[in-house]
Amino acid sequence: MARNLGDPIQTRLDWAVRIAREAGELTLRYFRRTDLAVEFKADASPVTAADRAAEELLRERIAERFPGDSILGEEFGTASGSSGYQWVVDPIDGTKSFVHGVPLYTMLVAVLAEERPLLGVISAPACGEMVYAARGSGCWYTGDRSGDAAPSVARVSAVRHLSESLLLTSEVATFTVGRAKDVLPAYLELQKTARLARTWGDGYGYLMVATGRAEIMIDPVMNLWDAAPLQTVIEEAGGRFTDWQGRATVHAGEAIATNGLVTEEVLAILRGW
């Protein structure tokens, strides 16, 4: 992967990869610990000391290298900046998986400018996997936890039909809450049409689409810290990332990621509801 060290986006991507790996190693110190305490936030979502410690580390490392950049994180809100660049971090995306010892949780890091995603990192520390991308520079994958091995190009699958596709989501129950209407029938129609459906979700589901192991990942309810890194990763891997109306955005509070070839089939079903 060619690098221009004077490029402010590439410089931030290199740092994002580095600190995601570092914070991921921190989460592993807590993973599957029998004494890990779980608290519940106002929205009933779980949070642990690992979530908070990882975000604190990410914030410290971002401020150390890019003190003028603003930061938005799930656990500690917004820190203002003056550079025009905004980091968006989710220290543990999939805390429910994390607290149950399931290794499919991820760490998400993105940088935006003028609300447009410029780069994204999806790291799965317990699986030793990571995908990362900067706009116009391709998407890269590594399955080496140390980061010493050379990355390979990440590419979406070539599957052309929904009936041949693996469909993923984070939690089926979210299709019945948090939206103006119950959209569970839409999900059930997608599930009926797809070859296979599984809940290997949260950030890991998007990693699977970017690496060609799944064709569709869909979420009906998202925050910006859930969505911010995904568009760049999916698009640079050759896929499409949209809201449920087909608009390419991370600000809609919902998402569809596909290999691009089955997008219209998916949207046709969603528009029917």
Cα separation, 163 vs 195, whole angstroms: 5
Contact 130, 241 (CB under 8 A): no
- Which tens digit of pLDDT belongs to each residue from 50-65? 999 999 999 999 999 9
**pTM above threshold 0.75:** yes
Cα separation, 172 vs 222, whole angstroms: 14
The per-residue pLDDT for 34 is: 94
Cα separation, 150 vs 147, whole angstroms: 8
The per-residue pLDDT for 2 is: 46
The per-residue pLDDT for 4 is: 54
- Banded pLDDT at 6 (limits 50, 70, 90): low
3 state DSSP class of 224? helix
- Which tens digit of pLDDT belongs to each residue from 187-227? 999 999 999 999 999 999 999 999 999 999 999 999 999 99
Q: Would you kindly state where each structural domain of the chain is located, as residue ranges?
A: 8-132, 162-271
3 state DSSP class of 114? coil
The amino acid present at 125, given as its one-letter code, is: P
Q: Judge: domain 162-271, CATH 3.40.190.80.
A: yes
8-132: which CATH topology? Answer: Fructose-1,6-Bisphosphatase; Chain A, domain 1 (3.30.540)
The HSE-up count of residue 250 (CA atoms within 13 Å, CB side) is 25
90: CB partners within 8 A, 6+ apart: 73, 74, 107, 108, 203, 225, 226
| pLDDT mean over 78-96 | 97
Element (DSSP H or E) covering residue 113: strand 106-113
- Which tens digit of pLDDT belongs to each residue from 212-222? 999 999 999 99
- Which tens digit of pLDDT belongs to each residue from 126-179? 999 999 999 999 999 999 777 778 899 999 999 999 999 999 999 998 898 767
